[in-house]
């Protein structure tokens, strides 16, 4: 069963349970995936769904940070709930040591010697860690190792 189908099944369960809050989170997820499909004129694969979910996680984390600065606990709670629902469909996150190992392996396989080769390295890292780690943090670590 594809990730998109799993999300649809979970949405149906939430609707049958009359869990409006959870169903609302699934509506947001489904809407984001559909928007990606329409914008790019493609059928969503698991990789595409993971990319969309990762983008949604990043947006939620940024929103939580902003709402906390503004002392809006009600909005923080909503964003945290949505973040938890989205996170249910992401693969288990890998440790920092595993991320560093993937980065070192990518640097070696790309033959990278300087920061100029970061694009090649990041292509390998993204393919390897999609949904399993924060790509932004992996990019920072790769820059450190290449510098």
Residue 121 pLDDT greater than 90, yes or no: no
Q: What region, left, alpha or beta, does residue 131 occupy, with left being phi > 0 and alpha being psi -120 to 50 degrees?
A: left
The CATH homologous superfamily of the domain defined by 3-87: Uncharacterised protein YqeY/AIM41, N-terminal domain (1.10.1510.10)
Position 96 scores a pLDDT of 82
The mean per-residue pLDDT over the stretch 107-127 comes to 83
Its pTM stands at: 0.76
pLDDT band at 41 (very low <50, low <70, confident <90, very high): very high
Position 65 scores a pLDDT of 95
Q: Which residue has the higher pLDDT, 3 or 147?
A: 3
Please state which architecture CATH assigns to domain 96-146: Orthogonal Bundle (1.10)
Residue 90 pLDDT greater than 80, yes or no: yes
What is the location of CATH 1.10.1510.10 in the chain? 3-87
What is the location of CATH 1.10.10.410 in the chain? 96-146
Going by the DSSP 8-state scheme, the letter that residue 95 receives in this structure is P
């Amino acid at each position: 069963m594809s990730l998109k189908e799993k999300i649809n099944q979970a949405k149906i369960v939430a609707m049958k349970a009359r869990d409006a809050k959870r169903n609302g989170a699934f509506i947001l997820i489904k809407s984001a995936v559909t928007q990606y499909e329409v914008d790019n004129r493609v059928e969503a694969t698991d990789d595409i769904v993971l990319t969309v979910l990762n983008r949604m996680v990043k947006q939620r984390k940024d929103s939580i940070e902003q709402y906390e600065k503004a002392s809006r606990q009600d909005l923080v709670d909503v964003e945290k709930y949505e973040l938890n629902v989205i996170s249910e469909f992401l693969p288990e996150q890998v440790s920092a040591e595993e991320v560093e190992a993937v980065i070192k392996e990518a640097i070696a396989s790309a033959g990278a010697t300087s920061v100029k080769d970061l694009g090649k390295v990041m292509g390998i890292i993204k393919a390897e860690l999609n949904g399993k780690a924060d790509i932004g943090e992996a990019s920072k670590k790769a820059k450190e190792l290449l510098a």
